[in-house]
Copies of this chain bind each other. A is one copy, B any other.
Amino acid sequence: MRPTDIERFMDLALAEAKNAELLNEVPIGAIVVNNEKTIIGRGFNQTESRCNPVAHAEILAIEDAAKQNRDWRLNNFILFSTIEPCPMCKSAAAEARINRIYYGSENSQMMSNKKECIQTNLRNIDCSKILKKFFKKLR
């Protein structure tokens, strides 16, 4: 994928994170892109507003993509997330047969094994800034 495409998709994931911010949710956003480089799924973290521990940005984006795709098998689709997905979301991507994840900023809480199919620190400053701002406001 070209750097300009990656930049564009990360911008859209960040726009999803801003939707979460407006709801006072931890601001994380995600999108799923299909083989034609079309956005087919979107999600932002809504654990509090949906009272659902599973309603992470990436899970919602994957569910949205499966519905749009009319097939839950998202072979070769790409998941973009503003931060490093948690183990649940990484496993959900694997369940959906997504084998490429691009994310903006590393999650310092996680000590995950980096694999070649995962690209990281794509928009590190923007993606970490929105989270830092949120947690600063909380304190």
Contacts and interface: CB of A to CB of B under 8 A. Distances in A.
Contacts of A92: 53-54, 88
A53 B67 CA distance: 10
Nearest to A48: B72
A114 to B, nearest CB: 17
B70 A51 contact: yes
A62 B54 contact: yes
17 contacts: A47-B72, A51-B67, A51-B72, A52-B63, A53-B62, A53-B73, A53-B92, A54-B59, A54-B63, A54-B95, A86-B91, A87-B87, A87-B91, A87-B94, A88-B88, A88-B94, A91-B91
Given A47-B72, A48-B72, A88-B91, 7 more contacts: A53-B73, A54-B54, A54-B62, A54-B63, A54-B92, A86-B95, A91-B91
How many of chain A's residues touch chain B, expressed as a range? 20 to 34
Say whether chain A's binding surface is mostly helix, strand, loop, or mixed: loop
Nearest to A47: B72
Q: How many copies does the complex hold?
A: 2
* Top 10 A-B residue pairs of the complex, sorted by shortest distance between their CB atoms: A88-B91, A53-B96, A53-B72, A87-B91, A53-B95, A88-B92, A51-B72, A54-B92, A52-B66, A88-B95
